[in-house]
Structure 1
Amino acid sequence: MALILFSLLFFLGLVNPSESRLSVNYYQKSCPRFSQIMQDTITNKQITSPTTAAATLRLFFHDCFIEGCDASVLVSSTPFNEAERDADMNLSLPGDGFDVVVRAKTALELACPGVVSCADILAVATRDLVTMVGGPFYKVPLGRRDGLVSRANRVEGNLPRPTMSISQIISIFAVRGFSVQEMVALSGAHTIGFSHCKEFSSGIYNYSRSSQSNPSYNPRFAEGLRKACSDYQKNPTLSVFNDIMTPNKFDNMYFQNLPKGLGLLATDHTMATDPRTRQFTDLYAKNQSAFFEAFGRAMEKLGLYGIKTGRRGEIRRRCDALN
């Protein structure tokens, strides 16, 4: 009976196994040069703009946490819809992440038009860039479709903010099925990239009556941050590397920095002291292999969150616009 029902659904077009299954070799026949085009694109972009890896990794997180990993963050607003990328929290997303996806999409449309989704491009670009700057390789099953919805009003409260308590951040991850350990591992993405001064200014200026900065900061580090960010109110684009030691290398230095008071964001300091998270920050500070293994597993899991397949999505002609 079940076989008959499945056959009927298949006949009616309601179930299509070829569309609903993800595979690392998904484009082997439909776009044989997929991997090579992706590799050429991200290599050229990273060499000319070394912030691309961090920008793309952050873009991937912001995409997956809202509608799932469906490239909804790439969609531009229209007069009839304010899209995700124009939500307050996404206005600071660096342009390099968007640009590398657009470049890859353009090349892939020339090679195999209408075949490769923007969601798959973003997922693979993220993995390949992380690996390129020294991070772990992890599997990226392919076959995602691009989402049909992108709304700015769905962003607030669904992405971690530096001003949130550790309990709030744990909750944001938990509702998406991620454990505290997975949350800490994913936070290790801060080993590359930068944060704008406004995101941590409250911790280094007029923190309290007795202290200019949060005592969790290394005093000399706090002084350096105040100098680097002295004009941030006039120039909101001023930023500082999340990891001042090896800012362009994906390693475990971010975790090594935390107990030394060299964390940049308030959440970094809290994560290094809260008993729910400290055991993992300590582990990853001591053991880079443990961090890489945990990060790779968590990224594989994140890449499957909320994905669209079959008729729940589409293959966009352009990544910044719905068909």
Structure 2
Amino acid sequence: MRMTTSSSVGAGLVVLVATVCLLLPAATRAQLQVGFYNTSCPNAEALVRQAVAAAFANNSGIAAGLIRLHFHDCFVRGCDASVLLSVNPGGGKTEREAPPNNPSLRGFEVVDAAKAAIERSCPRTVSCADILAFAARDSVNLTGNVFYQVPAGRRDGNVSKEGDALKNLPGPNNTATGLIDGFAAKNLTAEEMVVLSGSHTIGRSHCDSFLFKNRERLANGTISPAYQALLEALCPPTTNQFTPNTTEIDLSTPTVLDNNYYKLLPLNLGLHFSDDQLIRNATTAPNVAAFAANETLWKEKFISAMIKMGRIEVNTGAQGEVRLNCSIVNAPSSSTGIEMLLPGTSDDRADEVATS
């Protein structure tokens, strides 16, 4: 399948990103900025890119994992890296232990590698939430051959609860109406929901996410019988949350971020019930048809939606902290004194720690 090159959409993306920024309220635009670390840590994005590229060279599937990791972070408590926490200071299980995330989420080690490299270069400066947003962007670039600028300035949260993930994350068994409502709760439109669902064109899914619901689809005639037979052969009859068996979500081009996902849906080859729902709903079906017919259109809208998603309920300024280790919150003596540098401030402040 033909891939869209960066040159074919580059000019449009520049205009698109500028338009998105202009449409945002002035207060929101001031919170996150492209080039936020230009002065305080000018090589931050390059170090993240290097970590992602190294992991991708070893396993191309990590790109889908990082995009999903960013999505699952932003939909729960906003884009604050709460999904990366392995310990909840308040007690109880964390987001990453919740069934929608465990054991399917991956990419944590890539974020950790990028964070370690950045800490060596610019200590106490770059948030884990921004690293995750950069890593997702770089994954889009590696699989879709398009690049976009990521507004930064997020701060890391210090709460991560399993219940929040269960409440906020859209699931593979959601109806179209449920998906629309869930995305609307995060200020994303029905079209943006369909756009972001297109990230399913890369990556894999565990048997527990599709097998049993697809038996209902088979009875209703909304999944190819041959496809379901392949899935039944792949998955053991004792399938559960921790069954390791997986399959590609996009049968044809599973490692390329393209519009093939939308082309498979009318053929009854959507892997999840939620994927299939997009063509069964009067609001979303026209979007599927439009994106199946025009890959450039979808990529432009995908980038816009990724940028908008990356702004969900962010911590900025004095809110939150800049974690020293992405999987645990800072010790009290550290978290009270780490300040995220504002654009244009001196590098001399990078190591400042309050003495209070």
TM-score if structure 2 supplies the norm length?
0.80
Is the aligned partner of 1:217 residue 2:228? no
Q: Tell me, in whole angstroms, the C-alpha distance in 1 between the residues paired with 2:125 and 2:70.
A: 21
| Partner of residue 50, structure 2 | 40
1:85 aligns with 2:91: no
CA distance in 2, matches of 1:134, 1:73: 25
1:172 matched to 2:182: yes
Identity value in percent:
38
CA contact (8 A) 2:172 2:210 kept: yes
Q: How does 1:19-38 map to 2 (within 5 A)?
A: 21-38=31-48
Determine whether 1:104 maps to 2:114.
yes
State how many pairs are aligned: 300
In 2: Cα distance, 1:288 partner to 1:109 partner:
38
* Residue 253 of structure 2, aligned match among 246, 259, 270: 246
- Note the C-alpha offset of 1:135: 5.0
Whole-Å separation in 2 of the counterparts to 1:226 and 1:135: 34
Instruction: Give 1:203 deviation, angstroms.
Output: 3.9
Cα RMSD over matched residues?
1.8
Corresponding residue of 1:66: 76
**Counterparts in 2 of 1:319 and 1:244: CA distance versus 1, 3 Å:** same
In structure 2, what is the Cα distance between the partners aligned to 1:233 and 1:147? 35
The within-5 A match list for 1:161-310 is 161-205=171-215, 207=216, 213-230=219-236, 233=239, 236-310=243-317
Structure 1 runs of 4+ off > 3 angstroms?
A: none
- Report the secondary structure of 1:319's partner residue: coil
Per the TM alignment, residue 278 of structure 1 is displaced from its structure 2 partner at its CA by 0.1
2:247 counterpart SS class: strand
Higher mean displacement: 216-225 or 243-252: 216-225
Task: Give CA deviations for 1:70-92 in whole Å, capped at 9, x if unaligned.
Answer: 10000012583422111222113
Separation of aligned partners in 2, 1:91 and 1:257: 27
Mapping of 1:308-319 within 5 angstroms? 308-319=315-326
Q: Deviation of residue 214 (structure 1)?
A: 4.6
For residues 177 and 157 of structure 2, the distance between their equivalents in structure 1, rounded to whole angstroms, comes to 30
Report if the CA contact (8 A) 2:266-2:279 is conserved: yes
Q: Determine if contact 2:52/2:110 at 8 Å carries over to the other structure.
A: yes
Partner residue in 1 for 2:14:
none
Deviation at 1:29, TM superposition (A): 1.5
Deviation at 1:32, TM superposition (A): 1.9
- Asked if 1:153 corresponds to 2:163, the answer is yes
Q: 2: distance between equivalents of 1:265 and 1:319? A: 31
Post-superposition shift, 1:213?
5.0
* 293-302 or 229-238, larger mean C-alpha shift: 229-238
SS at match of 2:173: coil
CA distance in 1, matches of 2:214, 2:324: 46
Cα distance in 2, alignment partners of residues 239 and 214 from structure 1 = 24
Q: Deviations over 1:114-173 (max 9, x none)?
A: 011000000000001111112532221111111122111212221111122211111110
Q: Structure 2 CA distance, aligned partners of 1:156 and 1:233?
A: 20
1:117 maps to amino acid: S
Distance in structure 2 (CA, Å) of the matches to 1:23 and 1:320: 25
Q: Distance in 1 between matches of 2:238 and 2:248?
A: 15
Q: Unpaired runs of 5+ in structure 1? A: 1-16
In structure 2, C-alpha distance between the alignment counterparts of 1:78 and 1:308, rounded to whole Å: 18
1:45-69 CA distance string (max 9 Å, x none): 1111211100011111110001100
Structure 2 unmatched ranges of 5 or more: 1-26, 331-356
Q: What's the CA shift for 1:319?
A: 0.2
Deviations 1:231-287 (A, max 9, x none): 562871111111010001000000011111111001111111211100000100010
- The residue type equivalent to 1:266 in the other structure is F
Q: What SS is found at the alignment partner of 1:150? A: coil
| SS of equivalent residue, structure 1 residue 50 | coil
CA distance in structure 2 between the aligned counterparts of 1:278 and 1:146, rounded to whole angstroms? 37
Deviation at 1:230, TM superposition (A): 3.6
Whole-Å separation in 2 of the counterparts to 1:242 and 1:100:
22
For the residue of structure 2 that corresponds to 1:312, the secondary structure is coil
What TM-score results when the alignment is normalised by the length of structure 1? 0.88
2:4 corresponds to: none
Distance between the aligned counterparts of 1:135 and 1:169, measured in 2?
A: 28
